[in-house]
Amino acid sequence: MTILPTMPDTFHVYDTTLRDGAQQEGLQLNVNDKLKIARYLDQLGVGFIEGGWPGANPNDTAFFAAVADGGVELKNAKLVAFGATRKAGTTAAEDPQVQALLAARTEVICIVAKSHDEHVLRALRTTLDENLQMVADTVAHLVSQGRRVFVDCEHFFDGYQANPEYSLEVIRTAAEAGAEVVVLCDTNGGMLPSQMGDVVSAAGAIGVELGIHCHNDTGCAVANTMAAVDAGVIHVQGTLNEYGERTGNANLITVLANLQLKYGWPLVPPEALADATRIANAVAGVTNVAMNNRQPYVGASAFTHKAGLHASAIKVDANLYQHIDPLLVGNDMRMLVSDMAGRANIQIKGSELGYDLSDRDLAAKVTEAVKAREMDGYSYESADASFELLLRSELGLLEEFFEVLSWRVITGHEVKPEGDSEATVKLLAKGVLRHLVGEGHGPLNALDVALRGALRQAYPAVDDFELTDFKVRILDQGHGTDAIVRTLIDMTDGSRTWTTVGVGTNVIEASWEALYDAYRWGLLKRD
């Protein structure tokens, strides 16, 4: 039996989303974005939030000024200003960037120091001894000004492999100058978990508190972080949603959940960890970078089941195919409906939607209907709204709000201000015949305009419906332009979003079916 490490008396959970995470390609954060994310990080219960590099980045300077002026009130975390050691040939007291760190008015400052001899010689273009003096002078000056100082040893692991004596001397120098924690950085992300323990132990022999900062270039950032914890570090750094340069940083929520739920370390209140899924999604909304559905613990697929064998076991005990209770991190189990589904999948999915399918024969009937539709090209994994319509139809519970008598669409090369396509929809709604022509940019937009217009008088709620996404997939590509097409449509009414699926021999036919179902389900829920 593996004996897990005991939680140290002091342990730091340190977030660098606002600084290192913001270096991700395509991710841009303004001051207001950073203030919002800081609030979410504080709600998660992290101990330290690295806010950016004041003095080197005007946006970060403005962020620290906004915080100092009351832009965000942190209840759990301490804000950290990040910067570098002084430049060669000057003193820390005279260096403008060191002074900018003090001007940020944070209790804690983290400075990055070179710990790889080749980087000192070729990047800083100074001597190895001068680099040590830069570390010592900067740390000592910041400590003399009443600051707690952490030191990030950049490229430490690569430096250790090239010149272990010098890399360890940088750690010793920082500690002797007053650094509270020295952080070992796998800046290039090239380490493997099997290599971590020996290097961290060698650094720990100096007698200084150590931290770990891992990048994910080998796909091992979280595993490397956990290995470093096992080797004795008392400070872990990471980002939310594994944001960061190249392939990203260690995912801090994954590390935090591993330590709290697997090691049993009470790092944050249980209610804070139970808010992790909401917080991860909220931060993704601020950054405008979509969540990775397969992200551990908080991803939409983290507790999603598809195989019928899994569903049968889950009916007995949900945890037979789950490593934790999803509610511990604010997530939930989802059951997918697909051609792999068995009766148990359908029963669980029906229960999720509020339908009693405990009758085995009834559940089997619905299962066969789903499988028959899947054989025709339908996919209900991501189209819960279409699945519920099918389910209600099989149960005899489907209310038809309108009957479409005919529809057609014409599109051409001529582009007018109102669009290049024209659609006609004729339907019966509440006993009244409606016949409407709609114009739009493309066939689907024209059909949407026509259908909405035909329904508006009978059901004013359709004015709230908005199509937000549209996906097309060719199913049997060997048939070329004669292939079967599947479309998925996302629609919202402002308070909820739903997805429907359509299948046809052409993209317009498939799109119409998905659009038709989207309006039917929307009216079903608004009625």
At 165, the pLDDT band (50, 70, 90 cuts) reads very high
Q: Work out the percent of the chain whose per-residue pLDDT is above 70.
A: 92
**Whose CA is closest to 240, among 42, 25, 11?**
42
Bridge partners, residue 334, by sequence = 304
Q: Is the pLDDT of residue 334 over 60?
A: yes
**SS percent in the chain: helix, strand, coil, step 5:** 45, 20, 35
- pLDDT, tens digit (0-9, with 9 covering 90-100), for 89-127: 999 999 999 999 999 999 999 999 999 999 999 999 999
Backbone angles phi, psi at 434, to 5 degrees: -120, 135
* Neighbour tally for 348: CB within 10 Å: 23
Q: Furthest-apart CA pair in the chain: how many Å? A: 89
Write down the mean pLDDT value for the chain.
Answer: 90
Q: Mapping DSSP to helix (H, G, I), strand (E, B) and coil, where does residue 116 land?
A: coil
Cα Rg of the chain (Å, integer): 29
Bin 248: left if φ > 0, else alpha if -120 < ψ < 50, else beta: left
Q: Is the pLDDT of residue 338 over 70?
A: no
C-alpha to C-alpha distance for 30 and 28, rounded to whole angstroms: 7
At 217, the pLDDT band (50, 70, 90 cuts) reads very high
Across 378-395, average pLDDT:
84
Q: Is the pLDDT of residue 76 over 90?
A: yes
In the numeric block, the tokens 């270096």 are attached to 23
CA angle 279, 280, 285 (to 5 degrees): 95
C-alpha to C-alpha distance for 369 and 67, rounded to whole angstroms: 58
- pLDDT, tens digit (0-9, with 9 covering 90-100), for 443-482: 999 999 999 999 999 999 999 999 988 888 887 655 555 5
| Cβ–Cβ < 8 Å for 345, 308 | yes
* Neighbour tally for 404: CB within 10 Å: 16
pTM: 0.72
For residue 247 the two structure tokens come to 């392939």
For residue 363 the two structure tokens come to 């559940």
| Cβ–Cβ < 8 Å for 11, 267 | yes
The runs of H, that is alpha helices, within 288-383 are 308-316, 343-352, 360-375
Spans of all domains in the chain: 12-287, 304-375, 402-526
**Whose CA is closest to 343, among 320, 314, 304, 375?**
314
Q: Mapping DSSP to helix (H, G, I), strand (E, B) and coil, where does residue 453 land?
A: helix
- pLDDT, tens digit (0-9, with 9 covering 90-100), for 6-27: 999 999 999 999 999 999 999 9
223 CB contacts (<8 Å, ≥6 apart)? 193
In the numeric block, the tokens 């080749």 are attached to 118
How do beta strands 402-416 and 419-429 pair? antiparallel
Could you give the C-alpha distances from 331 to 67, 228, 268, 275, 304, in angstroms and in order?
Answer: 31, 28, 17, 9, 10
For residue 157 the two structure tokens come to 């692991």
| Cβ–Cβ < 8 Å for 497, 361 | no
CA angle 296, 302, 304 (to 5 degrees): 170
CATH number corresponding to 12-287? 3.20.20.70
pLDDT of the residue at 322: 82
Fold exhibited by the domain 402-526 = Double Stranded RNA Binding Domain (3.30.160)
206 CB contacts (<8 Å, ≥6 apart)? 168, 171, 172, 175
For residue 136 the two structure tokens come to 């010592």
At 526, the pLDDT band (50, 70, 90 cuts) reads confident
Q: Which of 53-57, 284-288, 378-382 has the highest mean pLDDT?
A: 53-57
C-alpha to C-alpha distance for 179 and 142, rounded to whole angstroms: 9
pLDDT of the residue at 339: 46
| Cβ–Cβ < 8 Å for 223, 196 | no
- Give the rounded distance of the alpha carbon of 151 from its chain centre: 28
pLDDT of the residue at 480: 53
Across 75-89, average pLDDT:
96
**Whose CA is closest to 181, among 206, 159, 157?**
206
Cα dihedral 85→89→93→94 (10° resolution): -110
Could you give the C-alpha distances from 411 to 415, 421, 447, 491, 509, in angstroms and in order?
Answer: 10, 4, 11, 23, 14
How do beta strands 12-15 and 48-52 pair? parallel
pLDDT of the residue at 309: 45
Across 233-261, average pLDDT:
98
Across 150-179, average pLDDT:
97
pLDDT of the residue at 311: 46
Q: Is the pLDDT of residue 291 over 60?
A: yes
